[in-house]
A = this chain, B = another copy of it.
Amino acid sequence: MEEAAVLLKQKGLKVTPQRLAILNLLRNTKEHPTAETIYKKLVSDFPTMSLATVYKTLEVLKNIGLIQELNVGEGSFRYDANTNSHTHLVCFGCGKVEDLDESVLQNLIEEAKKHTDYKLVEQKLYFYGYCPACQKMLSN
């Protein structure tokens, strides 16, 4: 049995095809999809899938630490199976959201601690700009 199934069981939660499908979809994409996008991608394989189930499942997966929720400032949340605190790039041109796969963040939290008396737990860093493709379009 895979580790996600084990974790669900440990928490007293049922292992369902929908939960595994949503998790696997997130684990196999780099596009940080929204609940709506996830639903649309799964409904062909799971014709009875409902949007409510997607939302409820995302909540569950988030709560047990298998995924994280992103908020880049759109109307809706995006989801990411990479639960590490990592930096995202958001393209103003096409709207895509990508990882910045370098540890720009590495010592940022340590640096921030010097400047506040908050007990810091985590941080979110989003960069906004234009991806290479959109830069080309703009220059034409």
Q: Which residues of A contact B (CB under 8 A)?
A: 69, 71-73, 87, 89, 91-92, 100-102, 104, 108-109, 111-112, 114-132, 135
Contacts and interface: CB of A to CB of B under 8 A. Distances in A.
Copies of chain A in the complex: 2
Given A112-B100, A116-B100, A124 B128 contact: yes
Given A108-B108, A132-B118, A71 B69 contact: no
Given A73-B124, A112-B87, A117 B132 contact: yes
Contacts of A118: 89, 91, 127, 129-132
B124 A126 contact: yes
Residue of A108, A116, A131 contacting most chain B CB atoms (<10 Å): A116
